[in-house]
Structure 1
Amino acid sequence: MPSIISISGVNKTYASGFTALNNINLDIRRGEIFALLGPNGAGKTTLISIVCGIVNRTGGTVTVDGHDISSDYRAARSLIGLVPQELTVEAFETVRNAFAFSRGLFGKPANPAFIDKILKDLSLWDKRDAKIITLSGGMKRRVMIGKALAHEPKILFLDEPTAGVDVELRKDMWQMVRSLRDSGVTVILTTHYIEEAEEMADRVGVINHGEIVLVEEKTELMRKLGRKQMKLELREPISTVPAALNGYELDLSPEGTTLTYTYDNQAERPGVASLLGDLGKAGIQFRDLDTENSSLEEIFVNLVRKTQ
């Protein structure tokens, strides 16, 4: 799939000498949901701010749908909608007028029908004429998303979009983001809620200490780096794991009734079928088994630890 954002050799070093980004190379595909994960201070917001024209890069190039963000900045920025972490709204403006004003800033003609659609999609229709100062924090977050969408951008940056948002609203926003992707909008998401990336992302990038650690399809990442566990509930308790099973990474529960087999998806280690056969040879029978995969959160934590 062709890239809509191309980032090549981007660096950011502040006057103090601190390097926030170091040789970032990243391509965002058209029409995908891309989750950028990283601990606090990793460089996520700095990278987004450079692409959006808020922060100047020290070196490297960035193009948005073929437009250089410096030499053709008007065209590049007109394609982008940004929802920052901070709640920055016009307190005494009405919701509808805030959306219409944001649309006008990009030179778009008035389109009341489109503004009404955003209000309904974001469950703000009942608050369309309310002053923003009267809204809850979650609703103000929705207003910010609506403002970013008002000029019909091809690319939407969501920087911690559900921070401080309740679980129900968070799920509503997930559905909205999927709908945007389905309509052709490219979505770049940074989040501390790993389940958010696991739920929505097509691809995942991990950044730490200003460097890209990896970029991978979410499903492939979980297949390659995830660990699986199989728990076997034994028919009869055993006191120790037989020596014949030493080739497996097995843990026996204290009461001797459950064996847990942990294995990497790509490790050169005997498989499940081999284990079950060797259990039979060792005279161990089981009544039930259950398997589970590592979550994206576990994979993320392990990756960050390796790059500390």
Structure 2
Amino acid sequence: MTAAVTLSDVRRRFGAVDALDGLSWTAPSGAVTAVLGPNGAGKTTAIECAVGLQRPDSGTVRVLDTDPGTAGPDHRARVGVMLQSGGLPNGAKPMRLLQHLARFYAEPADVDAVAARLGVPDFAGTTVRRLSGGQKQRLALAAALLGRPEVLFLDEPVAGLDPHGRLDVWDLIRELRDEGTTTVVTTHSFEEAERLADHLVIMSAGRTVAEGPLADVVGAGSLEELYFSLTRKGAA
């Protein structure tokens, strides 16, 4: 499979801390890549480099064969992003916000359909500041889908969701994959990785400690056992 996302020997330092220490991994086109790792592994920093919110100190980042740090609006319209920080304006109401964001795209998705798929109309009359954590997650994911992205980055997309909400989001991610969308999901959840991943990346201490198709990486053992073995070594 061709790679829609490639990080090669990427380094990013904050003071004395190496957030990314020669990180390399790929996300195959049309597949779900799960990026698994402990807190501080560099997952969010890697995603922010991949969407152009940070510039690596060295190394190469390519998304759809383009450097996201210097990409123009045409490239950015092909990429959907849902970050942990959300970035949603507190005073806005959900549907009006989605309608506003849709106007930034030449051929946006149907706002009502996207919102309905994620249950946004259920809390449409509430301002963002008064939404629950799970409701904000649903709204942020809806916003990321408005441009019909070819590549979708989701940083812990089910954090704060109840069990029904998690299943809804996982079903949606599978549907997007079946439609050809490349999706990169960062997670702490073994269950999420096992349910979703076509391709798995395990990170520790700013480095990749395992990568490949899920079945190949895990083999005959368990993902949980492999993860703890590799991340302890990676942190050493």
TM-score (norm 2): 0.91
Residues 126 and 17 of structure 1, relative CA distance in 2, 3 Å threshold: closer
8 A contact 2:102–2:111 mirrored in 1: no
Give 1:73 deviation, angstroms. 4.1
8 A contact 1:51–1:69 mirrored in 2: yes
Please name the residue that 2:155 is paired with.
159
Give the secondary-structure state (helix, strand or coil) at the position aligned to 2:167.
helix
Please name the residue that 1:286 is paired with.
none
Q: What is the aligned length?
A: 235
Mapped partners of 1:219, 1:170: distance in 2: 23
Please name the residue that 1:13 is paired with.
13
Please name the residue that 1:229 is paired with.
none
Give the secondary-structure state (helix, strand or coil) at the position aligned to 1:91.
coil
Code of the residue aligned with 1:169 in structure 2: it is: G
Give the secondary-structure state (helix, strand or coil) at the position aligned to 1:67.
coil
Please name the residue that 2:91 is paired with.
92
Mapped partners of 2:71, 2:132: distance in 1: 38
Residues 1:175 and 2:102 aligned together: no
Give deviations 1:126-172, integer Å, cap 9, x for gaps: 43454334433211110000111112211111111111211121111
8 A contact 1:4–1:27 mirrored in 2: yes
Please name the residue that 2:188 is paired with.
192
Please name the residue that 2:206 is paired with.
210
Give the secondary-structure state (helix, strand or coil) at the position aligned to 1:142.
helix
Please name the residue that 1:287 is paired with.
none
Mapped partners of 1:75, 1:60: distance in 2: 24
Mapped partners of 2:50, 2:97: distance in 1: 24
Mapped partners of 2:125, 2:112: distance in 1: 12
- Higher mean displacement: 48-57 or 63-72: 63-72
The correspondence for 2:105, drawn from 80, 104, 108, is 108
Residues 1:305 and 2:232 aligned together: yes
Give the secondary-structure state (helix, strand or coil) at the position aligned to 1:68.
coil
Mapped partners of 2:139, 2:51: distance in 1: 19
Mapped partners of 2:44, 2:97: distance in 1: 24
Structure 2's unaligned 5+ residue stretches are: none
Mapped partners of 2:156, 2:70: distance in 1: 29
Structure 1's unaligned 5+ residue stretches are: 227-293
Give the secondary-structure state (helix, strand or coil) at the position aligned to 2:168.
helix
Residues 1:119 and 2:46 aligned together: no
8 A contact 2:51–2:69 mirrored in 1: no
Give the secondary-structure state (helix, strand or coil) at the position aligned to 1:214.
strand
Residues 138 and 72 of structure 1, relative CA distance in 2, 3 Å threshold: closer
Bigger Rg, which one? 1
* Percent identical residues: 33
Give 1:48 deviation, angstroms. 0.5
- Higher mean displacement: 205-214 or 125-134: 125-134
Code of the residue aligned with 1:76 in structure 2: it is: H
TM-score (norm 1): 0.71
Give 1:32 deviation, angstroms. 0.7
